[in-house]
Amino acid sequence: MIVRAQPILKGLRAVVTAGPTREPIDPVRFISNRSSGKQGFAVAEALHAAGAEVTLIAGPSALAVHGDITRVDVETAQQMLDASMQAAAHADLLVAAAAVADYRVDTVARQKIKKSGDTLTLQLVKNPDILVALRQQFPALFLVGFAAETEKLEEHARGKLARKGLDLIAANWVGAGKAFDVDDNALSVFWADGQQEIASASKAEVAQQLVQLIAQRWQARATQGVT
Ligand code: CTP
């Protein structure tokens, strides 16, 4: 039996960021993280199945998506920021599932760094926060963030919800075999005056439930007239 998703987001334009970013050190090396992109890609698929017109901004990932999803491949946080700003200008909502590198190497070596001393020091500088930049530029954009935490899940997630001016934040535990590069996930989703648990399931099922919740909160914001 084929179960088709209800087109609850028909007519809406959605952007999803997913996967890791890669910050170059020299022509052959980079700093990155363990994000597989699976949860973000699944959110893009679920938004598409719910009728939205979807642009996926993907860090390096071997995953594929539905042909009707517009895919923009990027490497660095700066490239992800530029692509997100461009796509968000024509969007109603954006889900930031990417694991953006918080820091990049200050000066990327033009040639391969040769082995010399016993230690090597790299100077790192902070990357721009994509969600903060989006909120500043697009006050009415419905913004959904993710928070990957190893402790104090609700406290840290609610802190990010407020600090980044988000409409919704989906938090999950990471570390010790949880969330990164595995097929199942569980989420605690928070918004200003509420929260909902999405129980452990495949990342595809979790994405479908998250999209249901996004649709509900989108509707609630529209009826409250909150922008
Ligand atoms: N994010 C972003 N730009 C960054 C870093 C993070 O847009 N430069 C987004 C992520 O895509 C995610 C949310 O912010 O939706 C939370 O990311 P996280 O790394 O957990 O939060 P940080 O603000 O970086 O806080 P910390 O690393 O201190 O937990």
* Catalytic residue status for 33: yes
What is the pTM assigned to this prediction? 0.94
Listed by start position, the domains of the chain span: 13-101+124-223
Q: Is the pLDDT of residue 64 over 80?
A: yes
Kindly indicate the confidence band of residue 7, based on its pLDDT and cuts at 50, 70 and 90.
Answer: confident
Tokens of residue 21, six digits: 């970013």
Fold classified for 13-101+124-223:
Rossmann fold (3.40.50)
Binding-site residues, ligand 1, Cβ < 6 A: 17, 77, 96, 98, 100, 102, 127, 129-131, 145-148, 160
pLDDT tens for residues 143-170? 999 999 999 999 999 999 999 999 999 9
Kindly indicate the confidence band of residue 189, based on its pLDDT and cuts at 50, 70 and 90.
Answer: very high
pLDDT tens for residues 88-119? 999 999 999 999 999 999 999 999 999 999 99
pLDDT tens for residues 43-53? 999 999 999 99
- Residues 213, 196: contact at Cβ < 8 Å? yes
CA of 100 to the centre of ligand 1 (A): 6
Tokens of residue 61, six digits: 């990932």
